[in-house]
A and B are shown apart, each in its own frame.
Chain A
Amino acid sequence: MKKIDSTKRYEMLRERMGNGDIDRRSFMGLLGAAGITAGLTGGIMSTMATQARAAGTSLNFEGWGGVVSEALREHAFNPYEAATGNTVVDATFGGEKEVLTKVKAAGNTDGHNILHSSGVSWYKRWVDAGYGVSLNEANIPNLANVMTSIIDPFRAITPGSLSAVPYDYGTTGIAYNTKYVSKEEAEALGANLLLKKELKGKIGGWGGDWANRAWYGALQSGQDPNDIQDWDAIWGKAREHRDLVLKYWGSGAELMDLLAKEEIYVTEAWSGRVAALQAQGHPIAYLDPKNGLAWMESMFVLKGSPMAESEELLNFMLDPATAIAVAEGQKYPSSLDPTKVPMTDMVKGLPAFDPTGKLESLVFRDPVKWAPYEKEQTKQWNRVSKGG
């Protein structure tokens, strides 16, 4: 059916009146009716909406906030918006579980397009829950520069397609204030620095992830984090830690605030956030204990998102100039292969940076080993963290 606009209709009406097909009274009556209809149906709003659509697509991005958001906004989203006319509306989430809860409650993914998703486990969860997409990799040529070692775990979950592009990686090590803890002591104690009784009330911990706590419990109880046999020992160590903790932090921004204000001297911490604190001049050192936790993050596209624009954004973000600028800003190494794309000295100096592009020196969480325990142990951690 051919669509005609209001102007065309008016012209046709005027022509009919001019031809004598319609009298003046009927013409004015129809014109008035058309005006009322346009008013009631929001003709002006429709016009504005059309103009807004012509101005570009709006993409909703959710990420980790703080310096990470600032880096993405400055080095990726602003240039992308200027280059394409599309808009990126970025927001901070309290974790992907929060987004999953919202999406589940709403029954759709409206208002959610791209997530700064954490790890392979979450990639699997989103895909299994039916929120994944199949990216057209031909639209993301910069994907060719991404390390194969970081893409493979994602491809293993969705063979033949991807619903996300790996974007950065880092470690969760131990941050300590050098005014109160020496480098020698930190290295000697390793993960047990978090259990030092003399620091009671000056120790923090990441409260938002049971697996992180369990990983450190494994290190402290002498177990292989990817092959935990004794969960009681894990939670025993978590309780020991809890009794010394001032505050479990819930976001990277809170972590930085607690360390910068010297509310806490020691905590496990995200490598990039510590690097950001160091760049600000705070006396905070970072230690990756043996078998410390490494992780990778991806840009996950949710089902229902405008695909062409999303892929365009992902490709833009993976452009070497953009990805390196973001890496320098958020202090996490880029997923780009350093053997293919030359990195700056600043990126090479970031914690966890792997110059080989193989990531063999880092220990990641094995989703096959960890997934079966998630339901039961999440609950257990919530209790332990509250004195249970």
Chain B
Amino acid sequence: MSDTAKEFDRRPWVLLAPSLLAITVLVVIPMSFILVYSFYENIDLAVDRVAFQLGNWQELLTDGYYHIAIWKTLRLSVIVTVLSAVLGYIPAYFIAMTKFRHKWLLLLLLILPFWVSFIIRTLSWIHILGNKGALNGLFMWLGLTEQPIPMMFNEFAVILGFVHVFLPYMILNVYVSLEGIDANLEPAARTLGATPWQAFREVTLPLSTPGLAAGGLLVFVLTGGSYVTPLILGGPNDFMFGNLIYDAVVSELNWPMGATLSFTLLVLLGLVVVLYSRFMGMNQLSKAFS
């Protein structure tokens, strides 16, 4: 090995420095504050005492109320991720494979919803699924039902709201991955005797897995950290861990407990990323965009 190779190359660190600085200032330091705050004691509404006590963490670990919320959050995140993967793959495949000259237009349509506020997009479901919404209006007009069908303020509406909002993240990831696949591979498989379905299943699908996994990770983490969608579209039983954080911080004005729950959510979602890294490898994320 030459001496030059042994020399410490500073260039990557110089290039990474702005990002590392930003992550330190905007993520690491604030999260450290949150961790420290989780040991404080809430005396009264909005009144906290500086302390080092484990009461909040003990409550989190021993109270089933929080465990149910964690279970609900993970369960809903898995459902939304799987649905987004299934529903997102088809349009992504279509956009990637289409010979349409103005493909950019399809991509523009995909990102068009991002121009509208997340809250407005979520609220729009009330006008579609509500008693006097478009769907019930159509069903009643067609004579399919005499009474409006209850479709709002339940888990179905929450899942629909999540899939609606997060689907573009999945489609874009899968699309980028599909675009990177050599266009000759599928025809090559066909010439070797594979049926169209076999060619897709054994060539295209495995090669697009990095995009699917990257999209899945994004959708899972974004769903797991949400609280507004269940608040707007859900009923009393439709809540997630994020709603408990909202309750602790805004409703109970108990910031130490809110900090404890926030840090827990960070750790839980961080664990998902670690698991992803363990089974998929973080380099798959970059493959999705290569």
Contact = CB atoms under 8 A, between A and B. Distances in A.
Interface in B88-144: 126, 130-132
A263 interface: yes
Given A250-B231, A257-B126, A382-B252, A263 B236 contact: no
B152 interface: yes
B45 A261 contact: no
B251 A382 contact: yes
Nearest to B47: A129
Contacts of B187: none
Contacts of B166: none
A386 B239 contact: yes
A385 interface: yes
A242 B131 CA distance: 21
B218 interface: no
B90 to A, nearest CB: 33
Contacts of B252: 375, 378-379, 382
Given A97-B250, A378-B251, A262 B235 contact: no
B236 A97 contact: no
B251 A263 contact: no
Interface in B45-68: 45-46, 65, 68
Nearest to A378: B252
Interface string A194-232: 000000010000001000000000000000000000000
Interface in A333-350: none
A125 interface: yes
Contacts of B148: 262
A263 B130 contact: yes
A51 interface: no
Contacts of B255: 104
B44 A263 contact: no
Contacts of A125: 45-46
Given A242-B236, A245-B235, A375-B44, A101 B153 contact: no
Contacts of B153: 246-247, 263
Interface in A69-106: 94-95, 97-98, 100-101, 104
B31 to A, nearest CB: 16
Contacts, number: 68
Contacts of A97: 250-251, 253
Given A201-B150, A263-B130, A375-B44, A101 B235 contact: no
Contacts of B237: 386-387
Interface residues of B, number: 30
Contacts of A295: none
A385 B132 CA distance: 26
A263 B131 contact: yes
B247 interface: yes
A23 interface: no
Contact of B249 (A101, A201, A208): A101
Given A257-B126, A261-B131, A388-B65, A101 B250 contact: yes
A27 interface: no
A100 to B, nearest CB: 6
A386 B243 contact: yes
Contacts of B243: 386
Interface of A: 94-95, 97-98, 100-101, 104, 125, 129, 201, 208, 242, 245-248, 250, 257, 261-263, 374-375, 378-379, 382-383, 385-388
Given A375-B42, A378-B45, A386-B236, 12 more contacts: A201-B150, A246-B153, A247-B236, A250-B231, A261-B131, A262-B148, A263-B131, A374-B45, A378-B252, A379-B252, A382-B251, A387-B237
Interface of B: 42, 44-46, 65, 68-69, 126, 130-132, 148, 150, 152-153, 231, 235-237, 239, 243-244, 247, 249-255
Q: Which 5 A-B pairs have the closest CB atoms?
A: A382-B247, A247-B153, A261-B132, A386-B239, A378-B252
